[in-house]
Structure 1
Amino acid sequence: MLASNSHAQNSEVLTIAASPVPHAEILEFVKPILAKQGVDLKIKVFTDYIQPGVQVNEKRIDGNFYLHQPFLNEFKKSHKNDLQVVIAKVHVEPFAAYSNKYKKLADLPNGATVAIPNDPSNSGRSLLLLAKQGLLKLKDPNNISATKRDIVDNPKNLKFKELEAATLPRILGQVDLALINTNYAIEAKLNPVKDSLFIEDANSPYANLLVARDDNKDRPAFKKLAAVLNSAEVKKFIQERYKGAVLPAF
């Protein structure tokens, strides 16, 4: 017992902010692996997409694991700072569209109401996915920052509702179609592979990232966490637990 306490006291504490699923679940999986390497991983779970970044900037948390590069770019712009740096790419959550009313995309009626996330990077991601399905045309079909102003053709006269990403599963029955981030879909017991009308392919610029601040990115604990998150054990865990709903990005 004494040796165990001594080991705990000598551990380097690393606090990481994460979304509940799959991010926090992956971190819980690696926590005992890191403990053997002298890292005491503390996981702080958030259900929104803003506070994890804010608290890292304010040095209340060491790093975060919940966002992708387009979201990080927008976060840095809106918060007028460039403090956060990417340590590792971990996984891709293929973005997907769901409906409680229609079983096939062909059944989606003219004038359908489509709910999309209201943060700039994920709303752009939604529009790109809709364009790939032929539901609309964008001025630039490769612009990941596209907004509704970039729609040049909307043949079905789709009507858009922009809402906080976390609320989208809860309002699925109130709209015709909702484009939902996979972490929130999984929490709501939706399987992106089986339950969606359409889904992104694996060629995605939206790999989820482990992020640190520039002033702590070289800490040994971060390097150990990054190495474990990109390990064969984590790849196997992701493949077996999420069965295609989450894909390793390494």
Structure 2
Amino acid sequence: MTYEISRRNFFKFAAFGIGGATLAAASLTGCAQNTKSGAKDDKTVSVACSPTPHADILNGVVAGVLAKQGYKLVVREFNDYVQPNIVTEEGEVDANYYQHVPYLDDFNEKKGTHLIPLAAVHFEPFGFYPGTKKSFSEVAKGDKISIPSDATNEGRALLLLQEAGLIKIDPKAGVKATKNDVIENPHNIQLVELEAAQTSRSIKDVAFAGINANFAIDAGLKVGKDSIILEDAKGKAAQTYANILVVKKGNETLDKIKALNAALTSDETRKFITEHFKGGVLPVF
């Protein structure tokens, strides 16, 4: 599935009121829930997600909104970007909430899964944070900078480094750029590719670390205050990398999915995101 196709599908679902990032998740600890997605339209909604900010949003506000409608939300947390899609495809959960459309497109293409985006919920600005050095003005020959290794976030990091004037990438690569697409690197920067969840742990070992906002928050960083450079919340990045509600194709018409979607894009959820994360996470609905 190409990015353009996914975006068209997303807006098609949104036009019919189906879009709106919502996820129900099953608790990682002490939860034996194994609801087969789409098997029945019951009153339990299970969602796979990342701990921060997704589980915070789901447990902090969405569960309460759903409870008023007679639904029980079960949140299942994961610390990687692969398993949430696998358990959604296999029907172990009803939905997931942790990724953006470019990542979903790439996952479907490589894994042969049948997952579709329903709606955008929030944006987590990607940024670079000080490691052994405090400012890009201190960059020296051979400095190490950590970046995510997955197919979409790596390009995102490289584009931000290009914006900072540290490197130049092949224009043809765009958001799919890898370090092999770097065509100018005057400081001979060493780009250290790590799993996205590991970049925040690399701060002590690199000059600068490129970190997704959810992992930055997990690491105790203040996104707006501690970052050296941050994606523009009003720019293309916010439109492209908004975090979405995802289900397996065919389950988008279930009443509980519609209820989940409505709860995730409710006024209550918007207020919670704005007040709780103080700029580190931004509602986009």
Fold in common (TM above 0.5): yes
Partner in structure 2 of residue 31 of structure 1: 63
Aligned counterparts, 1:225-236, within 5 A: 225-236=260-271
Deviations 1:55-109 (A, max 9, x none): 111111111000001111111122023x111111000000010123222221122
1:219 aligns with 2:250: no
Counterpart in the other structure of 2:135: 104
List per-residue Cα deviations over 1:106-144 (Å, max 9, x = no partner). 112221101111111111111111111111111117711
The structure 2 residue matched to 1:47, chosen from 72, 76, 79, is: 79
Q: How many residues align?
A: 240
Q: Is this contact kept in 2: 1:11–1:40, CA < 8 A?
A: no
Q: Check whether the contact 2:131–2:209 (CA below 8 A) recurs between aligned residues.
A: no
Name the Cα RMSD after superposition: 1.4
Pairs within 5 Å for 1:66-77: 66-77=98-109
CA distance in 1 between counterparts of 2:121 and 2:198 reads 25
Q: Does the CA-based 8 Å contact 1:86-1:209 persist in structure 2?
A: yes
Q: Equivalent residue for 1:206?
A: 241
Q: Partner of 1:3 in structure 2?
A: none
Listed as ranges, the gaps of 5+ residues in structure 1 are 1-9
Taking every aligned residue pair, what percent have the same amino acid on both sides? 42
Structure-2 separation of matches of 1:56 and 1:231: 23
Quick check: 1:161 aligned with 2:192? yes
Partner of 1:196: 227
1:187 counterpart = 2:222: no
Cα 1:148–1:176, aligned 2, differ >3 Å: closer, same or farther? same
The aligned residue for residue 87 of structure 1 is 118
What is the CA–CA distance in structure 2 between the aligned matches of 1:119 and 1:223, rounded to whole Å?
Answer: 31
Task: Compute the TM-score of the two structures, normalised by the length of structure 1.
Answer: 0.92
Aligned-partner Cα distance in 2 for 1:17–1:173: 31
Secondary structure in 1 matching 2:174: coil
How does the TM-score come out when normalised to structure 2? Answer: 0.81
Q: Which residue in the other structure is 1:5 paired with?
A: none
